[in-house]
Each structure stands twice: as C-alpha cells, then as structure tokens.
Structure 1
Amino acid sequence: MVHYDATKCHVDAEVIITTAVASTWTVAPALPLQEHRLPLSNLDLLLPPIDVGVFFCYASGNGNDDDVPSALALKAALAKVLVPYYPLAGEVVATAAGEPELLCSGRGVDFTEATAAGAELRQVRLSMPDESADKLVPAKKSGVMSVQFTKFKCGGAVVGCVFDHRVCDAYSFNMFLVAWANAARGGSSSVSPAPSFDRSFLAPRNGISSSVDTLADRLFVPVSRVPPPSTSAAPAAATEAFNRIYHVSAADVAALQAAAGPGRTKLEAFTAHLWQLYAMAADTSDRRPSCRVSMGVVVDGRSRLRPDGAMGAYFGNVLTIPYGILGAGDLRGMALADVAADVHGWVSEAASGERFRGLVEWVEAHRPEPTVARAYLGAGESDSMVCVVSSGMRLPVGEVDFGTGRPAFASYHFPWPGGAGYVMPMPSARAGSGDWVVYVHAAPELVRAMEQEPTVFRAPDGRRIFG
C-alpha cells in the first residue's frame, strides 16, 4: 500500500494547498425570527464545547462553472433553510447556573468565499487533512456554524462546514445538509420533515429517578471526580496526534465482517479490528507491552427511545458512549470474532431505550456540574491507549447535491483537542461502491500500525477521484 511520510512537502503530483479569502459574509435566515432561548437537553449537556467539521469536493469535468455549486446559490439556499433550522443561526450562551443554552437570535452563519488558485483538486493530499482539510474547513469564530466555499483553478470547488457539537450530533447535521442541498436545487422552501426541537423527548421521568442508572455511572463522570493527570509518561497529547483520511474498500469491509462472526455489524467488526491494531501499536511505542487499551463507540439513541420513529426528525444530541478495556497482550492473542463479541456486548448493554432514559436522569441528578465520558479517560493509567469510534455511515453523501451533481469526495474533519484517538468512518462518495472513507485522529504509533498492514487502510488518490 501507499505510505506517506508526514515530513515531506510533496508526493508525486500532489501539493500542499494554500487558500486566500476573497470575501466573508454573514448569512441570516430569510425570514425574521423572534429572539428567544432554547434550552439544551440533558444529553446535549454531556458534550464539551467542541466543533465538528465536514467537507464536500465537487469536480469540474471541463473547468465549467456549471459543473460545481456557486457561492451565490449556496448563500441563497442557506438563508432559506436557516428558517426551519434557526438554532444554527444562533449562538451558545450561559444560563445563570453556568450551563450552556441556545440564544436563537437569527445572527446568521459566517460564510467565507476563498480561492485556491495555485492548485487543482486532483493535487490535494486528501490523506493529509492537516495540509488540506485545515485549509478547506473554516475555524468557527462565533455562532453555532460556519461555512467556507473554496474554488480551485481547475474549476472544482469544496464546501466545508463546521458546527458546535453541543447543539447537534451528526444525525441532526445530516438532516440540515440534505435540506440545504434540496433548497439549492430549487426544492420546496418548506422542509419535510421539519426538524423537531421538542425537548420533552429527553425530559426526566417525574423528576430525578430514585435509583440513578448504575451503567450511566460507569460510562460518565462529573468533572470534579476526574482524576488529575499522572506526572509520569502521559498519553500522546493532541498536538502529537496524527490526522489522516483513509480509503477502505468494500471487499475489506466485508472480509472484516465475515471474520467477526455471524450477527456482527460492519461497525462492530471494524471497531474490533481497530482495537487489535491499537494492541499492535503498543509493541512499537514507549508504552508497556502490557498496557491496557480502551475502545469506545458512539451510539445513537433515537430509535431506541422511540421505536415508533417519533424522534426521526429530532434535532440535537441523542448519544451515549459505551466502552471496553482490555490488555494489549490479551487483544493480540484473541481471534477477531472474540474481540467483536466483546464490542457487541458492551454496545448492546448501553443501547436500549431504558439505558438512554436512565442517562437522562443521571445528568439531571448531577446538574449543573458538567460531566465527561469515561471512554475518553481510558483505564486511568498513564500509559493506557484510548480511542472512540463514531459512525458517520448515515451521512447521505449522494444527497448533498447542490444542483450540480453529487460530490466526488467527502470526509469528516475532527482534529479535536482531546488526547484520545477519534476515528470516524463514512460512506465513500462513489455511488454504489460500498467503500468507506475513514477519518483518523490518533497517536503516531497507531497510524504507523494502520499503514504497515497489507490491507484495509489505503490513502485516497485525488488524481483517480478527480481525474
């Protein structure tokens, strides 16, 4: 497979892109809004103040502007869709108790137009988001969401977005993206289904439960109880983490699922494989070979809380993060099927509607103190290794068509400030391929383990994708 050296500035015909800002706008909702405050739900309050990015690349066959979205059309459609999705045009403020909540003010969304005149899309080092996505996804300075539209000299364009995770999860933002694209294609100005901000879905049952869910106590912890970091060798800091984007073929995904055993999902098989890669990485690092590896998975609870589909249009966070911890030596000696069974066990335990209701009440019992997911803290040992997998497989890449066709490539971008690894697979933009694109934020030793294995993780080739 292709191996990239992060110290090199050029690989074959690929270049490190530079962008120049042409103009910056604030796009307000097309209709006026009565200013009001919208409380965050108890499950929103589990999230720290972090931003999540995603970008979509649109290729131009003959350098024709008609082949890619225009900034004018994007802004006009954004103004329309911000009417039903008004929280994205607001800002997060603090309550008297110090908790975050939404001020729905209609301030708008910052929209930047930029150019990458010295490069073509096919030259972008897609595998190196620090050199590419960092230039294509805006850094949010204010508000809930920001957008950057970047034109390339080949005629191609990139639409990059970033949003405040406290306001919504990927499921919610996917709804917005589809509505935005539909508006750009000239679709109805009324969104169907309309997003729901009904916080009663996530209200505690009759106040605080008399017996707070013990699983919630195992999965989350008030910040006051988080142990201080060890003064000895600590896990890799965020500044030391590598950010990568990989392509995974449908054949490799299917092979992993088959090896994981009957009844295992693709994500469970992938998570089990990644968990074992962490164990291999421990052998090549300064950590003890017997160190422990913590692996978490982000689980959506909409269908668990309401199997009748009533939360299908709910906008906000409906997430929990179960995790497991195994010794690196144990992981290396286990069959993939056994590791996948372990993943399935702790994911299933946390994924029921009753567990989500218990988590809502657990948060209520600890408010207003903020909390943190234990999955990000690992085994509590200085040399433990930590990773969380968050599935982006529901991202409707083909539906993010702003009137000029589906994107040629898309990926999440989440170089978050935490010390834990973060891995997010999503469907490839290539229609019907079954391939995955995987965003990775992880310690250097894990990235090396990924790139040294003969299959699964490969660098995406911009020359093949964009021609």
Structure 2
Amino acid sequence: MVKEGTTGGGAVTITAVTTVAPALPVQEHRLPLSNLDLILPPIDVGVFFCYAAPGGVAAAVLKAALAKTLVAYYPLAGEVVANAAGEPELLCSGRGVDVAEASADGGAVMRDLRLGRPDESVEQLVPKKKAGVMSVQVTKFRCGGAVVGCTFDHRVCDAYSFNMFLVAWAAAARTGSPAPPAPSFRRSFLAPSNPAPPCAGTLADRLFVPISRAPAPPDAAAANRIYRVAAADVAALQAAAGPGRTKLEAFTAHLWRLHALAASRRGIGSCCMGVVVDGRARLRGDGAMRGYFGNVLTIPYGVLSAGALRGAALADVARDVHRWVAEAATGDHFRELVDWVEARRPEATVARAYLGRGEGGEGATACVVSSGTRLPLGEVDFGWGRPAFASYHFPWQGGAGYVMPMPSARGDGDWVVYVHAAPEVVEAMEEEPTVFRALDSGYMFG
C-alpha cells in the first residue's frame, strides 16, 4: 500500500506505481521552452475521466498505449530543469510517466462520488505529480468503473496541447484505430524578432509584468466546486449578451456580474476578470500551428467597479469582455508578447490577471476563465466507451480564482464547469437561481 485517502464513497488505496517510458529509446537532449511557455508559473493542472465500464478498465492497456504515445509526445516523458541562465527548460530524457494503480475500498461505487465537491472526492483521484512532467492515476471501483486522472506541468503545454495527447493516447489503446497526426515542437513558430524591440507601453506590457514588479497576491481562502450548466442556459446567456458574442464571452460576463455581489459582501470595490485566449490560428491562419505542442496563450482582462457591474445589463458587460478579448486575439499581439518576454529574459514574468489585484494594485475579486470546451470527449475512448463524466481540477495558489468550462460527457450541449474561487463568489453562484446547477449521480452516471 502506498497511499490512502477518501473519495466521499470510501477509501482509496494505491497498490502499485509504475514508471512508463516511451516504447522506443529517446536520444537525450534539451528542448528550450518558448517565450510563451515562460510566461507560465510552475503550476500543475489536473483532469480526470470517469468510465462506467462494465467489462472493467485495464490498466495494462492504458500503460501499453501510453508507452506508444510517448514516442511522439516525448516531452511528457521528460523533466523540467534549469538552464545556465536559471530559466526552466525541458530535459527530454525518456524518464517516463509515473502511473499509479489504485482501488476504492469499502465496496465503493462511482455513483457514490461527490464530484460536485472536489475537495471531498477528486483530490484522491487526480495524482499529485512528484517528478517528471506528467503523472497518471487509475482508480478502480467495485461497480467495474474506473477513474483515469492526469496531472501535467502547465509550463510544458496548454489544455489544447494536452487534448491532442489525450486523443492520441486513447487512439493507441483502441485496436485498429489510426494514429492522429504527430505533434509539432517547432519553436521557430514563436521565435522573437531579431533584435527584439523593448515593447514598453504595448498591450503585452499592460497584460504581463516582471516578477520583481508584481505585487504579492492576496492571501485568501478558496472553495472548489464542479457544476453543470444546461445547454439551454448557455444559449440564453448568449442571446442576452447580444449579437456577435460567443458563448464564452456571455458566460464570462455573467460570472463577472456575480463577482460584483461577492465584492460587495467583502467590502471590495473592484472586480477583475480575465480570459485565456489561444493564439494558434491568430499567428498562422493557414493551420500550420494546428498541431503545435506547447503554450500559445495570452490572458487579457478587464477591471470594473462592483457598483458599475451590479447596475449593468449583461449585454453591456459582454460588450466590454468582447472588447478586451478581441484586442488580444490578434497575431500582432502574440508576436509582440514573444518579443516582450525576450526583452526581459531571464527574469520571470506573470500575467497581471493572475495576481488578484485591481488596476491600481488594490484588492479585488478576481477570476480567470479558461475554456476547455474544445476537448473532444467522444475521442477519449480507450476501448471501453466514452467517459460518463469528465472535468478539470486546478486548485492553484494564485491570487485569482480559476473557472474552466468543458463539454458535458453526455454530448447534449451541457457544460461541466470547474470552479476554484473565493467562498463569497461560490456563495453568489449558488444563490443565483439559474445557470450553475449542482451535480447529482443521476446526471453523471445515468
């Protein structure tokens, strides 16, 4: 026995840990992180998939498929080390990925999982990464179902990249499934200008800050929840947000207004809201970066007073969200951000949206929304069917909350939304009569 914990449905015992190396030898080498990787702090992201597999989930199949997939996705089998300048970079050593096998004791079944309260359940199903870039845990239940949890170093890849890996891993496990296209690690896509301009006073300078100039994030409590949002509520939010607004912009505007209520209860005057924007199609409209593995993101944000938000219509707030998202969603901004980082290396930088502060450095209710809605859950099938439920898990230590919507595994247009936020924000979300709905076992597992 290696570790015990509880899932809300019984104890979890880890019975074995194996390090799975790539199926073919890796020539050890160092792979520099791109300038857009370097804007990420050393944080780990978790994601988990629940499989109601009556025939049982075979850990041996998962490990064999993982070994095959790591041949193409070899950075996930390496380690993050420091280079001569003290910056992080990848040591592609073929060390492998730690895979833990676990069992839920006490006759626990997956329907017993209180997934809406991740601190009571998910904490024991998603591995704590101790070494390497990635780790996996497979937890089996008496009902025959299993949970596959993964944790990865965000400095190495974003959610888009990890989605590519998940689809390739699942395809390798299914007999006869064609392999997806191999990932690209072509760092020249994100090469800085030569020489890189100083980029002071630009959008990049407004959105990011060197660590030495960053205010310390507030020390605040946070609560973790997972909710469901019905497809009809997503559509209603988008309609109320006005023409030309995306679902994510409408959702972000609604969440921003809820933060105003929480701010009032805490006596805070400012509300900061950020959105993660992917830059692949912005940098290369020809699709050349579609398979790029790494981080290609920026985090624009806005700050409004709690009073202004409380009195604003959703369409007005969504217009503001659209304005600052559109400003950052350009190839010019991403190229500028690459140069901005280059001009400040080797000093580390951080997104201002992560700091939980207002424009003047004052305390604020703050949140970053990162969309996982493009994860093709139907393709994360290892041979025993699509997941019955899936969610991200990201209880990080930043100054801002973090909210991650993704498609429901039911495939009906609903969203599953992971929330890591101040308790007052969670309270406001749960008091609101629509949109954020509690999970129940019938919804998750039929």
Normalising by the residue count of structure 2, what TM-score does the alignment of the two structures yield?
0.96
The equivalent residue for 1:383 is 363
The aligned counterpart of 1:176 is: 165
For residue 395 of structure 1, report the CA deviation from its aligned partner. Answer: 1.0
Distance 1:157 1:15 in 2: 15
Q: Any residues of structure 2 matched to 1:254-273 within 5 Å, and which?
A: 254-273=235-254
2:188 and 2:397 map into 1 onto residues whose CA distance is 32
**Is 2:110 the partner of 1:132?**
no
Equivalent residue number for residue 211 of structure 2: 223
Equivalent residue in structure 2 for 1:89, among 59, 71, 77: 77
CA distance in structure 1 between the aligned counterparts of 2:257 and 2:203, rounded to whole angstroms: 25
Query: How do residues 187-198 of structure 1 correspond to structure 2 at under 5 angstroms?
Result: 187=176, 191-198=179-186
Equivalent residue number for residue 3 of structure 2: none
Decide which of 226, 231, 244 is 2:225's aligned counterpart: 244
Residue 16 of structure 1 deviates from its aligned partner by 4.5
Superposed CA offset, 1:83-113 (max 9, x none): 0000000000000100000000000000000
Deviation track 1:326-352 (CA, whole Å, cap 9, x = no partner) reads: 000000001000000000000000110
Partner-residue secondary structure (3-state), 1:54:
strand
1:230-264 CA-partner distances (Å, limit 9, x unpaired): xxxxx452xx2000000000000000000000000
Whether 1:32 aligns to 2:13 is: no
Return the alpha-carbon distance in structure 2 between the equivalents of residues 355 and 274 of structure 1: 26
> CA 1:206 to 1:161, structure 2 compared with 1: closer, same or farther past 3 Å?
same
Structure 1's 17 and 236: CA in aligned 2 closer, same or farther, altered over 3 A? Answer: farther
Of 405, 414, 434, the match for 2:385: 405
After superposition, what is the alpha-carbon deviation per residue over 1:166-217, rounded to whole angstroms, capped at 9, x for unaligned?
000000000000000000002468x431100000000012231265561100
Q: Is the 8 A contact 1:213 1:355 kept in 2?
A: no
Question: Structure 2 CA distance, aligned partners of 1:465 and 1:210?
Answer: 51
The 1:381/1:364 distance shift into structure 2, 3 A limit, reads closer
Q: 1:187–1:39: structure 2 CA closer, same or farther, 3 Å change rule?
A: farther
Q: Return the alpha-carbon distance in structure 2 between the equivalents of residues 258 and 375 of structure 1.
A: 27
What pairs up with 1:110-121 in 2 under 5 angstroms?
A: 110-118=98-106, 119-121=108-110
Tell me the equivalent position of 1:418.
Answer: 398
Q: Which amino acid aligns with 1:32?
A: P
Conserved? CA contact 1:323–1:347, under 8 Å: yes
1:434 corresponds to 2:413:
yes
Q: CA offset at residue 69 of structure 1?
A: 2.6
In structure 1, the residue matched to 2:336 is 358
Question: Could you tell me how far apart the structure 1 residues matched to 2:58 and 2:200 are?
Answer: 52
1:281-320 CA-partner distances (Å, limit 9, x unpaired) = 12323x24xx100000000000000000000000000000
Which of these residues, 265, 281, 286, is aligned with residue 284 of structure 1?
A: 265
- Contact between 1:90 and 1:104, CA under 8 Å: does it hold in 2? yes
Residue 111 of structure 1: SS of its match in structure 2?
A: strand
Change (3 A) 1:252 1:209: same
- Separation in 2, partners of 1:205, 1:218: 20
User: What is the distance in 2 between the residues matched to 1:322 and 1:217?
Assistant: 11
Alignment-mate amino acid for residue 292 of structure 2: Y
| Change in 2 beyond 3 A, CA 1:461/1:173 | same
CA distance in 1, matches of 2:39, 2:263: 30
Which residue of 91, 95, 102 corresponds with 1:107?
Answer: 95
- Tell me the distance in 2 between the aligned counterparts of 1:15 and 1:376: 31
The offset of 1:18, in angstroms, is 2.2
**CA shift for structure 1 position 465:** 2.3
Secondary structure at 1:83 match in 2 = helix
User: Is the Cα–Cα contact under 8 Å of residues 213 and 362 in structure 1 kept in the other structure?
Assistant: no
Q: Report the equivalent of 1:53.
A: 46
Question: Which residue is equivalent to 1:303?
Answer: 281
DSSP 3-state at the match of 1:372: strand
Equivalent residue, structure 2, for 1:203: 191
* 1:444 alignment partner AA: P
Secondary structure, in 3 states, of the residue corresponding to 1:197?
A: coil
For residues 388-429 of structure 1, the C-alpha deviation after alignment (integer angstroms, 9 at most, x for no partner) is 000001111111000011000000000011121000000000
Separation in 2, partners of 1:59, 1:270: 30
Preserved contact between residue 262 and residue 365 of structure 2 (Cα < 8 Å):
no
User: What's the % identity of the aligned pairs?
Assistant: 73
Unaligned runs of at least 5 residues, structure 1: 1-9, 230-234
Q: 1:464, CA displacement in angstroms? A: 3.7
Whole-angstrom distance in 2 between the partners of 1:326 and 1:465: 36
How far apart, in 2, do the equivalents of 1:228 and 1:282 lie? 19
Unaligned runs of 5+ in 2: 1-5
Give how far 1:122 is off.
Answer: 0.5
Q: Would the alpha carbon gap of residues 228 and 284 (structure 1) be closer, same or farther in structure 2, given more than 3 Å must change?
A: closer
- Report the equivalent of 2:147: 158
What TM-score comes out, normalization by structure 1 length? 0.91
Q: Say which SS state the counterpart of residue 416 (structure 2) adopts.
A: strand
Between the aligned partners of 1:405 and 1:321, the Cα distance in structure 2 is: 35
Equivalent of 1:339 in 305, 314, 317: 317
Q: CA RMSD in A?
A: 1.5
Residue of structure 2 in register with 1:6 after alignment: none
Contact 1:16 1:131 in 2 (8 A): no
Length, aligned pairs only: 438
**Structure 1 stretches of at least 4 aligned residues deviating more than 6 Å after TM superposition:** none
Instruction: Check conservation: 2:215, 2:361, Cα contact below 8 A.
Output: no
- Matching residue of 2:428: 449
Structure 1 residue matching 2:71: 3-state secondary structure: coil
Q: 1-side partners of 2:142 and 2:342: how far apart?
A: 53
Q: Which residue of 2 aligns with 1:312?
A: 290
Question: Is the aligned partner of 1:186 residue 2:166?
Answer: no
d(CA) in 1 for partners of 2:367 and 2:443? 31
For residues 10 and 133 of structure 2, the distance between their equivalents in structure 1, rounded to whole angstroms, comes to 27
CA distance in 2, matches of 1:227, 1:282: 20
Given that 1:55 and 1:161 are in contact with CA atoms closer than 8 Å, whether structure 2 keeps it comes out as yes
1:269 alignment partner AA: A
Counterpart in the other structure of 1:3: none
